Amino acid sequence: MSEALRNLRVLDFSRILAGPFATMQLADFGATVTKVERPGTGDDTRSWGPPYDARGQATYFQAVNRNKDSIVLDLTDKHDLAEARKLATGADVVVENFRPGLMAEFGLDYDQLRPANPGLVYCSITGFGRGPGAELPGYDLLIQALGGLMSVTGVTDGEPQKVGVAVVDVLAGLFAATGILTALHHRNATGEGQRVDIDLLSCLLAGLVNQASAYTSAGEVPTRMGNRHPSIAPYELLSCADGDLVLAVGNNRQFTALCDVLGAPHLADDPRFATNSARVQHRDRLRAELERRLVSGTAAGWAAALARVRVPAGTVNDIAGAFDLATGLGLDPLVELPREDGGAVSLCRNPINLSSTPAVYRSAPPLLPGTKNR
């Protein structure tokens, strides 16, 4: 089968997460991605550990750098800089996430590369854009705080919490990949390249979706609600005899089925619970009614019984349990990639399933040229 992005040449100056995640999406579908790294240290995440794998490689770096080649260039060296410019003028896509203005100092910004490569798609990823926020450092935790995500994450009377993964970087990487592919589609029709600007703050605001529109459309500022949903009930963790049950009841049919399984069909006709709006208004009373019945059984037992009547319910898995679940469901979540030493590394596969041009897995994340370990 052919690769959708075969013959696409990507020069990747980015490091850490958002940019490498975007370029890995392209590499997974056939693009040739050349990762440019600093002498000696390479990408920052090569030293972000523990944990390390059996070869002493940081697992953080491995998460977003498969299917890529790596070269080491010192952009302060005139010979290396000339090589970088040569590669950039021959590339289809350039991706970078340096502080705004730095690539211009090296003559590697979009405006200076465009005359020699008018079809170039040039993606810049920043924390806060290229305007007044250009000098602010764009780390995920900082964006989660300043961008409002931490204000809606965590329990009501607790401290603000970050999400357990660098979700803003992941969002930015996905938006960057979408922007690059959109620009390439335009280039295919016109021959014209363009700049793709991605900033983490805007990506987070867009990713807040319903929490953002509560403010923009209704003037309401959302707050922390723990595991509860601001607009749906019951949609939270509820206590059972041995632990927590996750319930995500999104409509009246599901709620009626839930009440039947719990042996309390009358709750579905109670005016306080008959509609979603009523359930949200009386969520504390509803929780008490449900937990009074749920404590008679185990979370796994209730989850199985509710699944049989198509009510979204489950238990809280750890990461190992999540991969076991996906494997048991036939989703094949893991791929084995060949390493340079003849071994293999196991990584999460790309979740995009294409019938004619599926993702390819050619190589493990590269060692930093000239090194054998971290």
CA distance 303 to 248: 11
Which are the catalytic amino acids?
169
CB contact at 8 A, 55 and 339: yes
Q: What is the Cα 101 distance to its own chain's centre?
A: 27
Instruction: Return mean pLDDT, the chain.
Output: 96
Give the pLDDT confidence of 237-254 residue by residue, as tens digits. Answer: 999 999 999 999 999 999
Query: Tens digit of pLDDT for each residue in 127-156?
Result: 999 999 998 889 999 999 999 999 999 999
Percent of the chain residues topping a pLDDT of 70: 99
CA–CA distance, 209 with 37 (Å, rounded to integer): 35
How many angstroms separate the CA atoms of 18 and 34, rounded?
A: 16
**Residue 1 pLDDT > 90, yes or no?**
no
Cβ atoms of 104 and 111 closer than 8 Å: yes
Give all domains of the chain, ordered by start, each with its CATH number.
9-207+332-348 (3.40.50.10540), 235-239+244-314 (3.30.1540.10)
Number of H helices and E strands in the chain, helices first, is: 14, 11
Question: Is residue 374 over pLDDT 70?
Answer: no
Which pLDDT band holds residue 17 (cuts at 50, 70, 90)? very high
- Closest CA relative to residue 343, chosen from 72, 61, 56, 65: 56
What's the rounded mean pLDDT across residues 343-355? 95
Decide if 76 contacts 103 (C-beta within 8 A).
no
* Per-residue burial over 200-233, b = 16 or more CB atoms within 10 Å of its CB, e = otherwise: bbbbbbebbeebbebeeeeeeeeebbeebbeebb
Q: Is the pLDDT of residue 373 over 70?
A: no
Question: pLDDT at position 341, please?
Answer: 79
The pLDDT of residue 57 is above 50: yes
- Sign of the torsion formed by the C-alpha atoms of 127, 128, 133 and 134: positive
Question: E-strand spans in the chain?
Answer: 9-12, 32-37, 68-72, 93-96, 121-126, 194-199, 235-239, 244-248, 313-314, 334-338, 344-348
Mean pLDDT, rounded, for 79-94: 98
- Percent over 90 (pLDDT), the chain: 94
How far is the C-alpha of 22 from the C-alpha of 232, rounded, in Å?
33
Mean pLDDT, to the nearest integer, of 180-197?
Answer: 98
Note the pLDDT tens digit of each residue in 291-346.
Answer: 999 999 999 999 999 999 999 999 999 999 999 999 999 999 999 998 887 889 99
Tokens at residue 7, please? 């013959």
Could you give the CA distance from residue 41 to residue 355 in angstroms, rounded to a whole number? 39
What is the pLDDT at residue 372?
57
Give the CA angle between residues 348, 210, 306 to the nearest 5°: 65
Q: What is the mean pLDDT of residues 26-41?
A: 97
